[in-house]
A and B are shown apart, each in its own frame.
Chain A
């Protein structure tokens, strides 16, 4: 994917623009600076001309451009005339949009120095990161990550896919290690489905292979059993040569003891289980003496955090003065609202708008977009801007500041409605990709978008190599709320397996794509490749430990 490397570089200027800059430098841009007004929604305009009109026809409608040499304003119709009359007066600026226009090419053109000047005022007001500098952290981490990678591999989904299927076909009779059914202990499919997915998460399975890692925790368990030990036990049982279904009874018992509030016989929410197990692991290592690397909870280095934890960023912007306050919070997963079909038609009463594919069936991209879209908080939200003390409302925007190694996306299919007693399930189909690029939902992208996609911050936004994800597990909920059933689809070496309690069966890709997904598990593409190497290690390590 050569396109990706040149992605965030500046577009090549047309010869008229480079000519112009050669002759005049960037001084005209700088002179324009005080007339540029950049708004909160990413738009910018040229102010200072009282009522802009075309110098040729006196017209005021449509697009108006101001020549960057003689400051004459022309409408689109007379722009050509102006260019011909003047001495190479090619470059003009759109008065309403503060975009450059090359009259000779007849097209909008882009220049990083101009963009920088447009947003300079607002960038200065950006909240500084604690770690010093805007987006600086991201840049550092991406550099560090890059060092470890074979360049080129993780950028290509096709290559990754073939890597996933390596060595598969010759040993068809021998199924990949780690596939084993789990007995249903009485409405415990919520647990089985999550366990199947969890144990396939490369960072966690790498951790669990090593009995030593696992033993570190064993002795400290105290009165409450260690959830990580129990997961380790299940993991090793899954990778044993025994193919009869395994009963994760101890796991259930330990989890119940660990989380008394959820300990009761009956159907449970798989996502709730997932979160409570990860919190269990995290709490344990927090309470235990595993705090060498870090004192505060935010930097906990437990395996749950290492593998699943990302950082969410929430920006609240005052609509009066544009002051932005930012908070970061760690998360184990991202819970996404599902746009209901009624909602997407809200306000569209016109019959000419036909429901197209996009509005009819929701997509994961749509959910993620909705999640990261700025949301208007009304003045009723009791908002007080700490900068201008304004109370007229704010815009709130979520974004992902740091992506986790394993990305779990939870689709909010269950919602409380009307009264508190009634819980409804949204059974709508949700399209999801096997390869996912998270670039658009990163804080860097949302911030850039807020500045009208101006080119100012591109040096920090070089493609972060870890934005590419591959799916490896899908937890589905079928049936209605009261008597639903969870199954998990696992992708192992590019073959999909359906894990339905004790049953493990091969399924087509189509079955998975058409399923009613509830939780999606993605892993960074670079780890998929590593995992191939590791999985052979797992097999041998497990064999040895079962002998010993």
Chain B
């Protein structure tokens, strides 16, 4: 079994990864995490690969389509509307909307869709490592 240099890099990176104490649970809204301030991390390298290969855009497209099909998007829009109604359409800010729908948006993802996407990402990681 031949190993590519990336494999060893992955191995080293994963050791470094586990030695650092990262919290798996992220803060409630997407913002810059502490790991972003470090040197280019392993995760960033993969992210660059995802972007450069165009896979990220394809994954986004797939997820978007799935979330429309299953009614998640409609549900989120309706959820947005409740806040817009409450605060008035000219007073609500984008950031408020994002904060408001993020918990529900994350919680109401159908398992099957999540599984499908995770599978796709994993196979990308595997192909990137070989």
Smallest CB gap from A350: residue in B? B110
Cross-chain contact B95 with A107 (CB below 8 angstroms) = yes
Quick check: is B28 within 8 A (CB to CB) of the other chain?
A: no
Question: Known contacts A41-B64, A107-B93, A352-B108; is A57 also within 8 Å of B69 by CB?
Answer: no
Of the stretches A58-66, A298-306, A433-441, A520-528, the one at the interface is: A58-66
Quick check: is A417 within 8 A (CB to CB) of the other chain?
A: no
* B17-43, CB < 8 A from A: 30-33, 36-37
Cross-chain contact B51 with A51 (CB below 8 angstroms) = yes
Contacts of B64 on A, CB cut-off 8 Å?
Answer: 41
Cross-chain contact A349 with B78 (CB below 8 angstroms) = no
| CB-contact partner of B30 in A54, A61, A376, under 8 A | A61
Cross-chain contact A353 with B69 (CB below 8 angstroms) = no
* A37-84, CB < 8 A from B: 41, 50-51, 54, 57-63, 75-78
Question: Which of B47, B94, B107, B112 has most chain A Cβ within 10 Å?
Answer: B94
A333 to B71, CA, bound (A): 28
Cross-chain contact A75 with B110 (CB below 8 angstroms) = no
Contacts of A57 on B, CB cut-off 8 Å?
Answer: 32, 36-37
Contacts of A11 on B, CB cut-off 8 Å?
Answer: 90
A445 to B130, CA, bound (A): 48
Question: Known contacts A57-B37, A62-B32, A107-B93; is A347 also within 8 Å of B111 by CB?
Answer: no
| CB-contact partner of B31 in A77, A348, A352, A359, under 8 A | A77
Quick check: is A106 within 8 A (CB to CB) of the other chain?
A: yes
> From DSSP, what is the main secondary structure of chain A's interface residues?
loop
Question: Which of A345, A348, A356 has most chain B Cβ within 10 Å?
Answer: A348
A376 to B95, CA, bound (A): 32
Cross-chain contact A62 with B30 (CB below 8 angstroms) = yes
A359 to B32, CA, bound (A): 36
A393 to B109, CA, bound (A): 27
Quick check: is A4 within 8 A (CB to CB) of the other chain?
A: no
Question: Which of A50, A345, A352 has most chain B Cβ within 10 Å?
Answer: A352
Contacts of B75 on A, CB cut-off 8 Å?
Answer: 353, 356
Cross-chain contact A346 with B95 (CB below 8 angstroms) = no
Quick check: is B113 within 8 A (CB to CB) of the other chain?
A: yes
Cross-chain contact B110 with A58 (CB below 8 angstroms) = no
Cross-chain contact B32 with A346 (CB below 8 angstroms) = no
Cross-chain contact A76 with B110 (CB below 8 angstroms) = no
Cross-chain contact B94 with A108 (CB below 8 angstroms) = yes
Contacts of A344 on B, CB cut-off 8 Å?
Answer: 71
Contacts of B95 on A, CB cut-off 8 Å?
Answer: 76, 106-107
A12 to B75, CA, bound (A): 29
A541 to B44, CA, bound (A): 82
Instruction: Give the size of the chain A interface in residues (CB under 8 angstroms).
Output: 34
Contacts of A358 on B, CB cut-off 8 Å?
Answer: 74, 78
Question: Known contacts A61-B36, A353-B110; is A346 also within 8 Å of B93 by CB?
Answer: no
* B102 vs chain A, min Cβ distance (A): 11
Cross-chain contact B47 with A347 (CB below 8 angstroms) = no
* A335-367, CB < 8 A from B: 344-350, 352-353, 356, 358-359
Cross-chain contact B31 with A76 (CB below 8 angstroms) = yes
Cross-chain contact B36 with A59 (CB below 8 angstroms) = yes
Task: Write out, one digit per residue, whether chain B residues 57-100 have a CB within 8 A of any chain A CB (1) or not (0).
Answer: 00000001110011110110010000000000010011100000
Question: Known contacts A352-B107, A352-B108; is A347 also within 8 Å of B69 by CB?
Answer: yes
Contacts of B52 on A, CB cut-off 8 Å?
Answer: 50-51
* A83 vs chain B, min Cβ distance (A): 15
Quick check: is B12 within 8 A (CB to CB) of the other chain?
A: no
Cross-chain contact A51 with B111 (CB below 8 angstroms) = no
* A345 vs chain B, min Cβ distance (A): 8
Contacts of B44 on A, CB cut-off 8 Å?
Answer: 60
A57 to B33, CA, bound (A): 10
Quick check: is B10 within 8 A (CB to CB) of the other chain?
A: no
Contacts of B94 on A, CB cut-off 8 Å?
Answer: 101, 107-108
Cross-chain contact A353 with B31 (CB below 8 angstroms) = no
Cross-chain contact B108 with A353 (CB below 8 angstroms) = yes
A58 to B38, CA, bound (A): 9
* B91 vs chain A, min Cβ distance (A): 10
Question: Known contacts A61-B30, A106-B95, A352-B108; is A346 also within 8 Å of B36 by CB?
Answer: no
Question: Known contacts A41-B64, A347-B66, A347-B69; is A75 also within 8 Å of B107 by CB?
Answer: no
Smallest CB gap from A54: residue in B? B32
Contacts of B33 on A, CB cut-off 8 Å?
Answer: 59, 61
| CB-contact partner of B70 in A106, A108, A348, under 8 A | A348
A58 to B44, CA, bound (A): 10
* A255 vs chain B, min Cβ distance (A): 43
* A521 vs chain B, min Cβ distance (A): 28
Cross-chain contact B32 with A75 (CB below 8 angstroms) = yes
A344 to B112, CA, bound (A): 16
Contacts of A352 on B, CB cut-off 8 Å?
Answer: 107-108
A271 to B78, CA, bound (A): 34
Contacts of A376 on B, CB cut-off 8 Å?
Answer: 65
Smallest CB gap from B69: residue in A? A347
Can you offer 17 A-B residue contacts whose CB atoms are under 8 A? A51-B48, A54-B36, A60-B44, A62-B32, A76-B31, A76-B32, A76-B95, A77-B32, A105-B93, A107-B93, A107-B95, A108-B93, A348-B70, A348-B110, A350-B109, A356-B75, A359-B71
Query: Measuring CB to CB, which residues of chain B are less than 8 angstroms from any residue of chain A?
Result: 30-33, 36-37, 44, 47-48, 51-52, 64-66, 69-72, 74-75, 78, 90, 93-95, 107-113
The 6 A-B pairs at the shortest CB distance, nearest first, are namely: A59-B36, A59-B32, A347-B70, A107-B93, A62-B30, A108-B94
New contact pairs (17) apart from A61-B36, A62-B32, CB-CB < 8 Å: A51-B47, A57-B36, A61-B31, A61-B33, A75-B31, A76-B32, A77-B32, A107-B93, A107-B94, A346-B69, A347-B66, A347-B110, A347-B113, A348-B71, A349-B112, A356-B75, A359-B71
